[in-house]
Amino acid sequence: MLATTSASCARELADWPEAATLDAIGMARGLTARLGAAMAVGEDARKLVDANRNMGAAMLDMLGRSRRRPSYLPDAHRRRFCRHSEQLEKQLRADITARRRAGISRGRDVLDATLDFSATRPGLLDDHVVARIIMANLFGMRGSPAICLAWVLHLLATHPPVQEEVRAEVRAADGCADLDGLPVTRAVVKEALRLYPPSWLLTRTMARSAEIGGYRLRAGPVLLVSPYAIHRDARWFDRPTAFDPDRWLNTAPPAEPRAFLAFGSGPMACKGVSWVMTQTVIAAASVVRRWHLSADPSPYRLVACGDLRPVGLRLRLTSVAGSRAGAPNPPPG
Ligand code: HEM
């Protein structure tokens, strides 16, 4: 998985320009979508790039414009999304059929793992369900993982000494394929998730009455739990609003480890933690290895809607001298 991610990252970054000012979320989304696709379907990802991008764009468009309209009303955005998702499913099903026919598990990607699992439970996962699992993975990569990477790159751009530390670490590790060699980068990602958790609000339904934090609560209501607020509470984190990746490296752990809630907690906690941490560390390390990041002065807004995102945030990239050759190309979308 590490080698695949690292190799796809290097491939994707080869098309980035030497110098540019880019929208942080767009840039991060382009990268996470492609890395996620490579992780999900390996080499087949390259065939799916257009269909995946079209489905992702149509889904975001539909969610933005159609969510207040009853689903039984005709709606151009929903129709467009259905068209693109059917197209993607058709392409995926062709790959699924080919892999099932070949009957050999290469165990290289999520599709292989899903097919392996379905072979142990005949009849449980038909091709349609397998395709939909992969599509959920593909779409998921355009959301929180992209927002997370955008925040990581922003924090590195606004903290040059930390950026230098990460660059030095990547050079010393001689690349981005060994996570053990990248503890500082990992700490930066964790600190970004602490300061700007994409899932800034979680919900829990009271299954039974209980006392929580001195309040007597009855069974039934939905509680809102904010990782954003908890992460910035001085009871749990020293100098809570400071960007301090060292807090994850030092021997002193946070006062209450359970206060880190970027991936939730308990049985419903995020199942993609290991995947997304690996991918974000490799992506951030790969970008910093090749480009100096700096902040663009144009203003941006912190928007807390479904997730916590920096809308309008732009980043400046300048090639680290001697790190790569080749003429500049347009950045990926
Ligand atoms: C930076 C990226 C991500 C963040 C911040 C994130 C965060 C979260 C959070 C906060 C929850 C709810 C946990 C709770 O209520 O306690 C969750 C659930 C979940 N996440 Fe993620 N996630 C990320 C990426 C991913 C990825 C890439 C995948 C899969 C490939 C994934 C799969 C899931 C699943 C399956 C659940 C539902 C778990 C359940 O209800 O059993 N997540 N995630």
Give the pLDDT confidence score for residue 176 in this predicted structure. 67
Residues 160 and 79 in one domain: no
Q: Output the domain CATH number for residue 306.
A: 1.10.630.10
The closest residue, in CA terms, to atom 37 on ligand 1 is 270
Query: Does the pLDDT value for residue 183 go beyond 70?
Result: yes
Ligand 1 contact, 272 CB (< 6 A): yes
Ligand 1 contact, 276 CB (< 6 A): yes
In this predicted model, what pLDDT tens digit does every residue of 282-302 receive, in sequence order? 999 999 999 999 999 989 999
In this predicted model, what pLDDT tens digit does every residue of 193-228 receive, in sequence order? 999 999 999 999 999 999 988 999 999 999 999 999
- Residue 333: inside a domain: no
Query: Does the pLDDT value for residue 232 go beyond 80?
Result: yes
Quote the pTM value.
0.88
Residues 70 and 159 in one domain: no
Ligand 1 contact, 263 CB (< 6 A): yes
Ligand 1 contact, 264 CB (< 6 A): yes
Of 108, 142, 176, the one marking the end of a domain is 142
Strand blocks (E) in the chain: 19-23, 202-205, 210-212, 215-217, 222-225, 291-295, 301-304, 308-311, 314-319
Residues 230 and 305 in one domain: yes
Atom number of ligand 1 nearest to Cα 227: 10
The closest residue, in CA terms, to atom 29 on ligand 1 is 272
In this predicted model, what pLDDT tens digit does every residue of 57-111 receive, in sequence order? 888 788 777 666 777 777 888 889 899 999 999 999 999 999 988 876 666 788 9
Residues 122 and 154 in one domain: no
Give the pLDDT confidence score for residue 328 in this predicted structure. 40
Residues 297 and 183 in one domain: yes
Give the pLDDT confidence score for residue 105 in this predicted structure. 67
Ligand 1 contact, 143 CB (< 6 A): no
- Burial class of residue 74 (count of CB atoms within 10 Å of its CB; 0-12, 13-18, 19+): exposed
Mean residue pLDDT of the chain comes to: 88
Do residues 312 and 300 touch, judged by C-beta distance below 8 A? yes
